[in-house]
Each structure stands twice: as structure tokens, then as C-alpha cells.
Amino acid sequence: MYSIILAASISAVVAVAIYAVVTNLVIKTSIRKRREAAVKEAEAEGEMIKKERILQAKEKFIQLKSEYDRQVNERNQKIAQSEQRAKQIEGNLQNQQRELENKLRENERLKEQMQNQLQILEHKKEEVDQMQREQNARLEQISGMSSEDAKNILIENMKAEAKTEAASYVKTQPNLDLIQLNSFGCGLDAVTTDQVNDILTRSGKIYTLLKIDEVNNLGAARIRVRSLIAAIRVREMRHYHKPIVSSAYSRVYFTKEMKKNYTILCPQMSPIHFDLIEPAVRSCGYNLEVLQNSDRTAIDTGLKYVNNDACYPSLIVVGQIMDALLSGKYDLEHTAVIMSQTGGGCRASNYIGFIRRALERAGMPQIPVISLNANGMETNPGFKITLPLLTKAMQAVVYGDLFMRVLYATRPYEAKAGSANALHEKWKAICIKSLQKHSLSMAEFNRNIRGIIHDFDELPRRDVQKPRVGIVGEILVKFSPLANNHVVELLEAEGAEAVMPDLLDFLLYCFYNSNFKADNLGGKRSTAHLCNMGISLLEYFRRTCRRELERSTHFLPPARIQDLASMAKHYVSLGNQTGEGWFLTGEMLELIHSGTTNIICTQPFGCLPNHIVGKGVIKGLRASHPEANIIAVDYDPGASEVNQLNRIKLMLSTAQKNLPERKKESRIG
């Protein structure tokens, strides 16, 4: 029974468990089905909601888009209207800007004109002030003259100023340009062309030069004129501003303070003379240094800084100075330059201007240039021609003339080679020592003169006769070995004796010219008297020399300037006073009359005075003196040295042929 109950219980429990399991399965299945149905329903509902929301969103989007498009269209319309208004405003602004720019350009043009006028006024004021300063500087010189003489000097100054008046006017006018015409090879134009060039280019103008000669081909001239016009038009298109710069001249003065510590450079002209002039000037407190750069480098340097039409001596002088200054040897802040200036019509009178222009081009405008002149053209507070300085300088010149005369007359005949040069060096040292003394001893000077002539006269000689060849011409080419290609050494090497007239004679010639001016050109007679006193003073310095040479055995005394003038006036007028003038003709006649019939006339290429009073009178001299054997030799940077040598050798050949005849004549005499 218990087992039955137990079995029944277990069965009941099992049944209940099975029921529970089945029921659970059924419930789970039902729940799953309901869940799945609910999920499907939810998904369906969600899909419907999604579609509904999408539709709503699309409707909202379409609505918003329509609203946006409407707003955009309205905004674009407003923008278009604004842009239209902006374009109108911009157009108006551009028109206003163009009008403003036109007004500004007009104002700038008026401003430029006003500035130009102000510059012109300032320029004129500077020029007037400079002219006033220059005239005031000359008052001492002018005050001692008559009113007529003073008037004449002022007129000459005005003429010199008028040479560049055209260029000075053109630079102030915006609608004017200038073309300068000059004659080919005209030396004076070589000076004015540089001046006109500087005046125009410094004020922004274009400088054009046309050289005119006998050739009628104007093709090159047309090309240059067309180029000038084209350049002017380009400048106008670019609105090129032309600053007006004053052409007033302002030089650097050599002050008293500079005398203490400045080195004064002097270009070399005649080694024999300048080796003595240097210590003579140094003894008076000036630190003078004579340049020794006498080589081709100086010529090449001169070609860089000097107009080639300026003549060979100008080129050499400037070349020597610039070569020295560019060498680095000198302190450019404590260096000055000295150069002689005659004031005549020769290109050589413009050495000072050439030097200053070269210094400016080389960036050395601070270097003072001292003009050594006797007519008061330029003065410097730190350099004065005092009586001691004049005395020492004249002694040095007389020493140099004497050395040149006795050395050249002895060296070709010396029995022992080199003895004449050795004697020259001995006496040069003695003379330098004498010139270095602060005292002025004419007794010692005369004693040295007598000793020099005596010793050279007694120097052993060979008993030979050689042709004597005189050397005349332009003063620098005549004396400078660099300029004349060492013509003295050449003559001696070819078996001849060189004869060189004195340097002092050129100074006498300058003084003597005042007599012709007083007689024929309205010059003041008192000026002529003063110059004649100067002649007497110079002759005083060489009176001992003249007397001892007259007593000597082998040497001839110098001629008197009055005798040279008397001989020359039959061939040329004494009014020929440019360069060497009539003096050159007189020197040739004096040489012929003293037995030196062979003559070399040295002349710079294109030197007009030399070609007139030198080469131009040769035919007349030969007609009057058939024995004369004269040649003219041109010297220039581009001259053929071979051609010069051939001409000289041809002249010497004729001289050698005439030598036996001269010997015969001397024996008959």
C-alpha cells in the first residue's frame, strides 16, 4: 500500500513535473509567438512610423527648401542690387580718382616747375656769389690798374664765363636740349666739351657731341641725333626728373695749416732742372716731391682721365699725377698738387682744370691743386711766392740750364765713358747742398757756376767732330724724356751732339710779350716796364753764367730774348703769343746763327701754335738759310716711335753728309 502510495506520489510528482515542463514549454512557445508577433507588429509599426517621419521630413525639407530658396532669391536680388549700386559707386570713385590723379599730376608738374625755378634761383645765387668771391679775390690785382684796364679784365672774365652760358641755360629749361659741334682736333674745344658735358650731365641732361671735319658724310651725325631724340622721348614717357645742379666752381684752397703736414706733388718736366727745384722749394718750408714715374704707365693713366683732344702734354701731366695718387703711396687726406699756369690761350693753361676734373672723377675732390702763376689768377693762403722762394727757384733753374748746356756739349766727346755724367752728379750734389741752406748766398751761387763751367771745360775730350742737332718745340715735349721718347739719348747714340735752349728763356719770352701788348693791343705801359724789370732780374741771375760761358773754350752763351725777338719778327708777328709763339721761331733762328743748322722741332700731335710758328715757318727758314736741316716730329700716345726714329735718322744722315763741308768752311774761316 505504501509502495502504491509512493508510486502514486511519484507518479503525481512526475506528472506535475511533466505538466510543469509542458506548461512551461507551452507558455514559452506562446510567449515567443506573442513576442515575435509583437516584434513584427512593432517593426511594422516602426516602419510605418519611419515612413511617416520620412514623409514628414521630406515635406518639412521641401517646405524649408522652398523657404530657403525664397530667402536666397530675395538675398541674391538684394546682393545684385547692392552690387549694381557698388558698381555705380565704384565707377564714380574711379572717375573721381582719375580726376584726382590728373590734379595731382598737374600739382606735381607745377611743384616741379616751382622747384626748378627755386633751383635756378639758388643756382644763379651760387654763381653770383662765386663770381663775387672771385672778383673780390682779384681786387688787389685790379685796384692797381686804371679803370680801363680793370674793365678789360672784367670783360675777359665775362667772355670766359660765356663759353658755357648756353649749357648753363639749357640745363634750366625742361623743353631744351643741346648738341655741341666742334672742329675735329681743335684743342680749345677739348676744354669746352668737357665743361659742357659736366654742366649738362650733372643736371640730368643728355650730352651729345658732333665732331665736324672736311668729310661730308653726315650718316654718323644723323644716327647720333636720332639716338638723342629717342632717348629724350623715353625719358618723357618715364617722367624722368632732371635735378638742376649748380655749375658754380668751388675749389679747395691750400691753407696755412696744410703747409705744415701736406705733401705737395709736382709732375716731372725736366729731370735736370726739377732735381734741383725740389730741394730749393723744400728749403722754404714746403714738402715738395717731384714725381719720378716717367714711364708708359703714366701715359696710360692719363688716357683714362683726360680728353684725348687735350694734347699730349696735358695727358702726360695728369697721367703722372693720377698714377701717383692711385699708387697707394700717399695719404690722400694730406696730399696736394702743384702745377704752373700761364693763363694764355694754349691748352696747357688748362692743366689745372684737367687735374681737378680727373681728381673729381677718381673720387679725390678733397685734394687741393695749387696754381703756380705770376698774374694772380689763383691764390692760396698756404702757398706764397716769397723773395727767398723766388731766389732759390731761379738759382735752381739757372743751375739746370747750365748743367744741360755743358753736359750735352761734353758727353758726346768725353775721353772716358761716363766721366761727364759723373762730373754732373758731383756738382749736382754740391748745388743741392747749397740750395738746401736757408741763407741766400749769391756769392756761393756764382762760385758754383764758375766751378761747373771750369770743370766741364777741363774734362778730357776726344778730338772728333759730330753734327750738332738743336731741339726746340713745345716746352714739355722738348724737355721731358718721357714725352720725346728720350730724343737726347737717341741723338747721342746715333753719333750727334744735342743742343737744348734754356728753360729760363721761356720765362723771358712770357715777360717780353707785354711789350707787344703795350705797343699794339692797348696794354698798359707800366705793366710792360714791370715785365722788363723782370727780364733784367732774370738776366741778373745768369749774368755770371753768361760771362763765364763766353770765356769758356767749348761752350756758347745763351741768346738774349731781345735778339730772339728781333730775328723772329721777320718771319712771324710777335703777336703770336699762344704756346711757344714767336719764341719757337726765334729759337730755331738762334740755333742756325750759332752754327747748329740741324734742328728737330718737337710738337704734340694737333698742337695748332706749334704747327704755325714751328712747322709752318720751316719752309721760310730754309729759303733764307739753305744750310738749315729742319724736321718736325709729332709726339702722341698713338704716334709711331719707329716713324719718329726714321725721320730723325734721315735728318742725321743729311747732317753727316753736310759735316765735311762744314769742316771745310770752318778751316777757311
How far apart, in whole angstroms, are the C-alpha atoms of residue 645 and residue 635? Answer: 11
What lies within 8 Å, CB to CB, of 188 at 6+ separation is: 345, 347
Backbone phi, then psi, for 634, in 5-degree steps? -85, 140
Cell of residue 117, nine digits: 625755378
Taking only the tens place, the pLDDT of each residue in 387-403 is 999 999 999 999 999 99
Residue 431 and residue 392 in contact, taking contact as beta carbons nearer than 8 Å:
no
> Residue 125 has what pLDDT?
61
How far apart, in whole angstroms, are the C-alpha atoms of residue 130 and residue 379? Answer: 15
Calculate mean pLDDT across residues 336-361: 83
CA dihedral over 233, 238, 241, 247, signed as positive or negative: negative
Residue 364 and residue 351 in contact, taking contact as beta carbons nearer than 8 Å:
no
Cell of residue 233, nine digits: 622721348
- What is the overall mean pLDDT for the chain? 82
Residue 280 and residue 435 in contact, taking contact as beta carbons nearer than 8 Å:
yes
**Range of lowest pLDDT (210-224, 443-457, 603-617):** 210-224
**Range of lowest pLDDT (290-294, 612-616, 648-652):** 612-616
Is the model's pLDDT at 220 over the cut of 90? no
> Residue 665 has what pLDDT?
44
More confident residue, 191 or 347: 191
Name the one residue in this structure whose C-alpha cell is 770752318: 666
Residue 176 and residue 167 in contact, taking contact as beta carbons nearer than 8 Å:
no
Name the one residue in this structure whose C-alpha cell is 600739382: 107
How far apart, in whole angstroms, are the C-alpha atoms of residue 319 and residue 325? Answer: 10
3-state SS, residue 89: helix
Calculate mean pLDDT across residues 195-213: 80
Query: What is the number of other CB atoms lying within 10 angstroms of the CB of residue 513?
Result: 23
Taking only the tens place, the pLDDT of each residue in 132-158 is 565 555 544 444 444 554 454 455 445
Q: Which uninterrupted H or E stretch holds 499?
A: strand 497-499
How far apart, in whole angstroms, are the C-alpha atoms of residue 651 and residue 470? Answer: 12
Report the half-sphere exposure of 237 (CA within 13 A, side-chain side). Answer: 6
Is the model's pLDDT at 213 over the cut of 80? no
Sort strands 497-499 and 468-473 into parallel, antiparallel or unpaired.
Answer: parallel
How many helices and strands, by DSSP H and E, does the chain display?
24, 10
Q: Confidence class of residue 586 from pLDDT cuts 50, 70 and 90? A: very high
Name the one residue in this structure whose C-alpha cell is 732774370: 538
Residue 189 and residue 181 in contact, taking contact as beta carbons nearer than 8 Å:
no
Give the residues across from 341 on adjacent strands.
none
> Residue 215 has what pLDDT?
62
**Range of lowest pLDDT (295-304, 455-464, 636-645):** 636-645
What lies within 8 Å, CB to CB, of 197 at 6+ separation is: 207, 209
Is the model's pLDDT at 109 over the cut of 80? no
> Residue 202 has what pLDDT?
78
CA nearest neighbour of 584 among 606, 557, 616:
616
How far apart, in whole angstroms, are the C-alpha atoms of residue 659 and residue 466? Answer: 8
How far apart, in whole angstroms, are the C-alpha atoms of residue 601 and residue 585? Answer: 10
Calculate mean pLDDT across residues 2-17: 67
**Range of lowest pLDDT (240-254, 442-456, 569-583, 628-642):** 240-254
What lies within 8 Å, CB to CB, of 247 at 6+ separation is: 123, 127, 164, 167, 168, 171, 198, 199, 202
Calculate mean pLDDT across residues 499-511: 93
Calculate mean pLDDT across residues 482-491: 93
3-state SS, residue 174: coil
Strands in 629-635's sheet, in edge-to-edge order, are 497-499, 468-473, 598-604, 629-635
Q: Is the pTM of this model over 0.75?
A: no
How far apart, in whole angstroms, are the C-alpha atoms of residue 266 and residue 339? Answer: 7
Query: What is the number of other CB atoms lying within 10 angstroms of the CB of residue 397?
Result: 24
More confident residue, 307 or 601: 601
Is the model's pLDDT at 160 over the cut of 50? no
The listed range with the strongest mean pLDDT (71-75, 141-145, 196-200, 462-466) is 462-466
Q: Which uninterrupted H or E stretch holds 290?
A: strand 287-290
> Residue 664 has what pLDDT?
44
> Residue 509 has what pLDDT?
92
How far apart, in whole angstroms, are the C-alpha atoms of residue 479 and residue 270? Answer: 5
Is the model's pLDDT at 366 over the cut of 80? yes
Q: In degrees to the nearest 10, what's the CA dihedral of 318, 321, 324, 329?
A: -150
Residue 170 and residue 178 in contact, taking contact as beta carbons nearer than 8 Å:
yes
Backbone phi, then psi, for 180, in 5-degree steps? -100, 130
How far apart, in whole angstroms, are the C-alpha atoms of residue 631 and residue 615? Answer: 8
More confident residue, 659 or 15: 659
Q: Cite the DSSP H helix spans in 437-542.
A: 442-458, 475-479, 487-493, 504-520, 525-541
Residue 620 and residue 571 in contact, taking contact as beta carbons nearer than 8 Å:
yes
How far apart, in whole angstroms, are the C-alpha atoms of residue 257 and residue 254? Answer: 8
Calculate mean pLDDT across residues 31-55: 76
> Residue 579 has what pLDDT?
81
How far apart, in whole angstroms, are the C-alpha atoms of residue 320 and residue 299? Answer: 7
More confident residue, 70 or 575: 575
Taking only the tens place, the pLDDT of each residue in 295-328 is 889 999 998 888 777 788 888 999 999 999 999 9
